[in-house]
Structure 1
């Protein structure tokens, strides 16, 4: 097969992942510099606080109280999920942004949280949304990337070609 027939794959979208990792790590750096762990400051009264927290679990602190095995489990899971998504990017045509963008966004979120787990042993969370006394679990930019990426994948799956 001649090379002129090969279509470029979507691995170039990894640049989006790298940018999101940088943004997430920068916002965590700012949060740690501005707040003490457990400290909370109102950003939009009645809706949004900056609250610095350590999350040793997964989303919504799932398995936070489990044994030390979870640390390496979540790191390994992050690498497996990211590896699968990178493989799918490699197989995806570069122009197929409806597939490539969600994969890249999820990869950025997952790997940024893996960086925290390696460096610190936990993930830094700081965005605290609430209404009245009901608080959404505290999260970070990387968590938002994962959720937005999954939502984009679902949206794309219902839209068809």
Structure 2
């Protein structure tokens, strides 16, 4: 097995496990977190269920349609993972796949995604999110900088 594929698989497994462990802790403490628990100014832990996707988009869509969409994207990303020789891209694809599968499992179990990270400034709150979302966004960000990193590696210091 190529190193890049192994990196991607380990990233996917790690993202999935971190997401599921943190969500299990939140669900176990749902009663305490329902009204929000301040961690520090600008950040609360809260228990919410989101039946949509990012920022609540597609809220009210049949849960199974979002599962099918996510699986389709994961299959496409898995093909990209197998085809890449870039370790950075493999890491990114794995992070996205692991995060997406974490949210898929929530949809299969609860028909919605468990969100618990609440960032805010004053009274303006960013939509709540979870660790799966962190991995997906981080993976996309890494894919965006991967070409720049490849050029830097080729040109040297």
| TM-score with structure 2 setting the length | 0.88
Larger Rg: 1
**Which residue number in structure 1 is paired with residue 2 of structure 2?**
8
Q: Distance in 2 between matches of 1:39 and 1:25?
A: 22
Unpaired runs of at least 5, structure 1: 1-6
Size of the aligned set, in residue pairs, is 149
1:16-51, CA deviations, whole angstroms, 9 ceiling, x for partnerless residues? 11111111100011111123263211011x210001
Q: Distance in 2 between matches of 1:35 and 1:43?
A: 16
**Which residue number in structure 1 is paired with residue 154 of structure 2?**
none
**RMSD between aligned residues:** 1.6
1:92 correspondence with 2:84: yes
Alignment of 1:4-153 (within 5 A): 8=2, 10-12=4-6, 13-36=8-31, 38-44=34-40, 46-64=41-59, 66-67=60-61, 69=62, 71-93=63-85, 96-153=86-143
Q: Distance in 2 between matches of 1:136 and 1:149?
A: 20
Flag the structure with higher helix content: 2
1:63 is paired with a residue whose SS is coil
1:43 is paired with a residue whose SS is strand
Contact 1:125/1:140 (<8 A) preserved: yes
**Which residue number in structure 1 is paired with residue 155 of structure 2?**
none
The Cα of 1:11 is off from its aligned counterpart by: 2.5
1:111-139, CA deviations, whole angstroms, 9 ceiling, x for partnerless residues? 10000000111100000010101101000
Higher alpha-carbon deviation: 106-115 or 27-36: 27-36
1:46-92, CA deviations, whole angstroms, 9 ceiling, x for partnerless residues? 2100010000000011121x34x3x1121011111110111111112
1:39 is paired with a residue whose SS is coil
Higher alpha-carbon deviation: 7-16 or 110-119: 7-16
Unpaired runs of at least 5, structure 2: 152-157
| TM-score with structure 1 setting the length | 0.86
1:138 is paired with a residue whose SS is coil
